[in-house]
Amino acid sequence: MSIFTGSSVAIVTPFQDGKVNYPLLQKLLEFQLQNHTDAITICGTTGESSTLTDDEQIECIRFTVEQVNKRVPVIAGTGSNDTDHGIELTKRAYAAGADAALLVTPYYNKTTQKGLIEHYTLMAQAVDIPIILYNVPGRTGLNLAPKTVAELSKIDTIVALKEASGNISQIAEIAALCGDRLDLYSGNDDQILPLLSLGAKGVISVVANVAPKETHDVVQKFFDGDFAGSLSLQLDLLPLIQALFIEVSPIPVKAALELMGYPVGVGRRPLTTMEPANLEILKKTLTNFGLNKL
């Protein structure tokens, strides 16, 4: 069975005075659940996992599991460029009650395709939790090749792939090689519908932080057979998606949530505030979508 079908928000981590703001995280979770988000992905790239301590990361996961209380699946970002560290984080996330783990490819040190197979195989063997592979070469400098994905899909607990390469031809090849053995999720908000047409189950989304129902509806309309409605929504969302990536994510999405009345704070350094000209574009776009509350 799929971990989820539809839209999973890659939720931001709110900060106040340098610390995780758990009361606000609770409000963000309820906002998502009230607007039909189908799963919560906590401590992914958008959640700034790279600048959370291990203890903060696990506490965010535990808190989210507790607050969501089985209403939707909770997916924990526990990937690392250190296999042993990733195993430890994933074990702790599993103990905290996560329903699945999102494991990004190793970054900076990178590895070969052989190394990727060993990395993910060892992680899959260490923890009995469903695993979503995460391919985002723009962030990591490393691409998860289709034949590598096909090999990893033979492992029972490796059940899905979040694909953010932007390479539709590559994603089509993965779909052809893996078939029903592996669920696909779009990792790019501007490619939800194209990936659905290749058999994807949904999206793990940044734009869902500010437009959860609309993001859910892009997928739901597709599976309801309303392809024109899905297409219309996908295209309608493009200006918002573009504004949310006008600077390095999650800088704009956190600024957007601030404008919507959720004081999530600025990202941890080296992330910083938006350039004034870009912030004006974001404000105008949110106003056009009826989301700017300030």
CB-CB contact of 285 with 239 (8 Å)? yes
Query: How far apart (Å, rounded) are the C-alpha atoms in residues 116 and 292?
Result: 43
Beta-ladder partners of 100: 75
269 burial (CB, 10 Å; 0-12 / 13-18 / 19+) is: exposed
Per the residue annotation, which of 162, 201, 221, 254 is the catalytic one?
Answer: 162
CB-CB contact of 185 with 5 (8 Å)? no
69 burial (CB, 10 Å; 0-12 / 13-18 / 19+) is: exposed
Distances (CA, A) of 4 to 74, 160, 232, 259: 10, 10, 23, 30
**Residue 212 identity (one-letter amino acid):** P
Does 114 participate in catalysis according to the annotation? Answer: no
Does 108 participate in catalysis according to the annotation? Answer: no
Per the residue annotation, which of 94, 120, 134, 262 is the catalytic one?
Answer: 134
Query: How far apart (Å, rounded) are the C-alpha atoms in residues 294 and 282?
Result: 13
**Residue 195 identity (one-letter amino acid):** L
CA 227 from centroid of its chain's CA atoms:
24
Residues that are catalytic: 134, 162
